[in-house]
Structure 1
Amino acid sequence: MPQSPEHLLRLLQRFIKHLNQIKQIQTLTIISGHLHFNPVDTSKFRWMSTLLFNALIRAYLNVGQPYQAIFLFTRMLDYGAPPNNFTFPSLIKAASSLPSSTSVVGRSLHTHAIKCGVSLDPFIQTSFINFFARFGSLSDAQKVFEEMSEPCIVSCNAMLDVFGKYGDMGLAMLLFGSMRKRDVFSWTSMINGFGSNGCYGDAIRCFEKMMAHEDVIRGIVRPNEATFVSVLSSCAYSAGERALYQGKQVHGYIVKNEIELTVFTGTALISVYGKLGCLTNAMKVFNQMKCKQVCTWNALISSLASNGKEKQATDMLERMKKQEIWPNEVTFVALLSACSRAKYVDLGLELFRSMSQDFDVVPRMEHYGCVVDLLGRAGLLREAEDFIKSMPFEPDDTVLGALMGACKVHGATELGNEVGRRLLKLQPWHCGRYVALSTINAWAERWGHAADLRKDMTAAGIQKIPACSLVHSL
């Protein structure tokens, strides 16, 4: 029995997240002839067929079938159904989820949007801003934004994200300052932009300005989970009392306003307290969290390891298994680092073996570097060298750097020089490599070699980075 277009649309709305039913509805639509050109009633056909195509494209996107959504658009053009302003946002989102090598799809969509006369629709423009940002074209995103006669707050926020992603916080601040209205996403984009570009102090100051703004004081704007995580991440990477103070302020705000500790906010708090030496607070947050994921356990293991509680850190793996939390790559970096600090050689090697055998975690360069550091700190330099030779890929600067650091500590001059020469080939402009290698030779009273390395640094125009110390009370 033929189905009416209205009935098919209702079916799509009902089964919008069910792939099998969507395919069946598409088949019914084709059989009923609603997608084929009908010259008898052109205007009605085109309106209805466009509506059906839009619904099908959105349905396939909702069930994670972006290629099928794009394919439907090509069929839409073949059947003569005209795309409208409701067609492109779903298509752009589908194109954004494709691999970077297929960015040409999005650019083709941009061309079609211009031809259809809908490229100036604010929703479509904002979608294209996000698309171009995703595929690494700041200039194209900026061009689309500049074409907007009156950018809405959503498009401004999208552009703030773009500037932050590409490290142009100067333009981000100019845009932010020109915005007549700002919401929580505006502030969070700025905080996250500063933090992701290493400007941790600026991120903290931006959060402070946000909390002192009248919109926040009056309750018009409220910080959300993303805001907390962004500023806490900057606190964790900063040093000094201000970072710890701000971390505690965020924690106090969460408690005072009876905001539930989410997985990500709680994990960020644990990282802040752990990295800034407040292990007791980190443990309290961990115990208060109702829901914990593997990232939460990883943060606590790292906090324990960096605060002299290596045994407790390694014991966490058994607790994770009892809670049916499966460890991942980050977990083993934290565990191996704990073993390295405590010189638990046998345990560290056993954990490294168990990664692939028991947990299906393939060791990466970082894991190999941790094992080299473990063996090196324990003075097992030849074992560390043999371990490097057994690696399935060439060691990078972190792996070789760990071995050279161990050579420096244990006075292994010959091996240190051998590793040092390899490092200088990888990092010819790294001042620290020259200094470490010079120090190794100086301690062995090989003054000529030490002096030559210093001369090589000067000749290459490489300057030693001045050291500094920071003392703060907790």
Structure 2
Amino acid sequence: MWTGSPYSCARLEHLLQNHFSCPRRLLQVHALLLTSGAFSASHAPAAAFPYNCLIHAHLRLSSTSSPPGAPLRLFSAMLAAGAHPNGHTFPSLLRSASASGATTTALHAQCLRRGLAADRFVACSLVRSYGRAGDLPCDAGKVFDEMRSPDLASCNAMLDVLFLARDLATARDFFERMAVRDVVSWTTLISGLSRNGCHWDAVEAFRGLLVHNKGWLGEATLVSVLSACANLDGAEGLVVGMAVHAYVVRHQVDLTAFLGTALVDTYGKYGKMDCCKRAFQAVLEKEVCTWNALLSALANHGKETETLVKFNMMIVGGFLPNQITFLSILTGCARAGLVEIGLYWFEAMVTEYKVTPVMSHYGCVVDLLGRAGRFIEAIEIIERMPFPPDASVWGALLGACKLHGNVELVAEIERKLVALGPQQSDRYVAIRNIYLEDGNWYAAIRMGQMMHEAGIKKTAGQSSVVFHSTAIP
């Protein structure tokens, strides 16, 4: 029988922590608590503890392991049993609500009703939950403004929410006005800028962190700046990425799957394949994302055969491929002209691995067939797509038309692209060039006039040279 004693609480917490990763045993513990009277209303204050532990345990499980909405259903059972939620109950519930898309408002009302909204831990969780639901600034901002003296954790949460809302100007101003900043604050700034496409600003923010903070840099910080480096166009991104790698080696930072994947991806984006492979080998506990980063790098830099070899090693190693994995495989097959192999894996992706194709997969298959001159089959793939093809799919077919001189099909692709809008400037230019190469001056002039009327301009080519280096202590 549950007694609610500190000894019983400690044993329960230890039991749940030991079985966080085992869904069946967690559910068995849940059943044991129900049958032993652990949730008895006669121990209402103490009964909150087992509920809190179970809510947190279910939250730690993946969405495939824990029943959908389990934390919120536990909360409903908790209220029905007469147990009193406390400051440890709502943070986990709010995380569950934001992850599952459930409303935060009802939980906020419960916090207000029980006088817990002023609790800093609860208020910080409310800010995060509202922000992840996209309800800024009317809700997340209001909760933050009502806090009497927001602590650093709450300020960091609000900063992250501003970046999630893509309000970059307010986010930067908020960061500058923060009286106290820690590594989390700087990491939030770096990752927020990078997520919103300001990759160079993210690198500059990282340099600011190095000036203001001489302490140890954690995994999240390093991953954030590597993500920005991988998305820069110039060689500066590679310079900073190599400096980050040097920091990892010099300070003996564990190359986890998360950090290792970011490093492999950065080297892969710049075609530094030797460094890419060495970084991959240095990751001891590889995950699917680590393999995906390597496969993508190989497929995009002319190593199609090696891509398939590594893919086979991944399968033999017991890793389940996902959508990103198959995108790399299909890309490699298309570029190497391995039509039958590509079609085999496209079918296996659906039938054997139960991975649902998205637009990019269909674009790869169209490219695969188009490069081989199999236009009829490519069009059949487009017609069988479960959703309307976008410009990337038509662009793949357009590239094949240019390769094989199929001018007749270009006219149909032109109509499709025009219907999608004037945003595809590069593809309009490609169509005009195909007409010019074919000697169809009338069609080329007409395309040029259409581009002029739509305000489309040819993107100017750019190049850059980097003369300085970045040193990281």
TM-score interval (norm. to shorter): 0.7 to 0.9
Partner of 2:301: 307
Distance 2:364 2:290 in 1: 21
Displacement after TM superposition at 1:465 (Å) = 4.5
Partner of 1:190: 189
Taking only the aligned residue pairs, the percentage that are identical comes to: 38
- Give the SS at the match of 2:41: coil
Partner of 1:172: 171
Whichever residue aligns with residue 405 of structure 1, its letter is G
Given candidates 126, 133, 136, the residue that maps to 2:134 is 136
RCO (CA 8 Å, sep 6+): is it higher in 1 or 2? 2
Whichever residue aligns with residue 459 of structure 1, its letter is E
Given candidates 238, 251, 266, the residue that maps to 1:272 is 266
Q: Deviations over 1:171-204 (max 9, x none)?
A: 2222222223222211111110011011110111
Distance 1:227 1:317 in 2: 30
Whichever residue aligns with residue 236 of structure 1, its letter is A
Partner of 1:29: 37
Partner of 1:145: 144
Contact 1:239 1:276 in 2 (8 A): no
Distance 1:361 1:83, change over 3 A: closer
Displacement after TM superposition at 1:307 (Å) = 2.4
Q: Deviations over 1:310-332 (max 9, x none)?
A: 22122222222332333222111
Whichever residue aligns with residue 35 of structure 1, its letter is A
Contact 1:126 1:155 in 2 (8 A): yes
1:256 maps to 2:250: yes
Contact 1:22 1:56 in 2 (8 A): no
Partner of 1:207: 206
Partner of 1:120: 118
- Give the SS at the match of 1:327: coil
Given candidates 451, 465, 468, the residue that maps to 2:461 is 468
- Give the SS at the match of 2:459: coil
Deviates more, 1:232-241 or 1:83-92: 83-92
Distance 1:25 1:383, change over 3 A: closer
1:66 maps to 2:71: yes
Distance 2:2 2:357 in 1: 56
- Give the SS at the match of 2:76: helix
- Give the SS at the match of 1:181: coil
- Give the SS at the match of 2:450: helix
After superposition, where does 1:36-51 map in structure 2 within 5 Å?
A: 49-51=44-46
Contact 2:337 2:368 in 1 (8 A): yes
Distance 1:26 1:8 in 2: 15
Whichever residue aligns with residue 133 of structure 1, its letter is G
Partner of 1:96: 98
Q: What is the TM-score of this pair, normalised by structure 2?
A: 0.87
Distance 2:230 2:95 in 1: 33
Contact 2:55 2:93 in 1 (8 A): no
Distance 1:30 1:328 in 2: 41
Q: Deviations over 1:123-165 (max 9, x none)?
A: 1110101110121111111111111221111111111111121
Q: Deviations over 1:25-83 (max 9, x none)?
A: 2444389xx515xxxxxxxxxxx51331354244234234213222134325xx4x654
Partner of 2:438: 444
Distance 2:194 2:343 in 1: 36
Distance 1:109 1:373 in 2: 49
Distance 1:61 1:453 in 2: 60
Partner of 1:52: 47
- Give the SS at the match of 2:252: coil
- Give the SS at the match of 1:239: coil
Distance 2:147 2:347 in 1: 57
State the superposition RMSD in angstroms: 2.5
Contact 2:9 2:49 in 1 (8 A): no
Displacement after TM superposition at 1:435 (Å) = 2.7
- Give the SS at the match of 1:359: coil
Q: What is the TM-score of this pair, normalised by structure 1?
A: 0.86
Contact 1:407 1:415 in 2 (8 A): yes
Distance 1:442 1:251, change over 3 A: same
Displacement after TM superposition at 1:309 (Å) = 1.9
Q: Deviations over 1:232-276 (max 9, x none)?
A: 111111122211110010000000011121112111111111111
Rg larger for: 1
Distance 1:410 1:322 in 2: 38
Count of paired positions? 447
Distance 1:449 1:89, change over 3 A: same
Contact 1:26 1:56 in 2 (8 A): no
Distance 1:358 1:112 in 2: 46
Contact 1:92 1:109 in 2 (8 A): yes
Given candidates 14, 21, 27, the residue that maps to 1:19 is 27
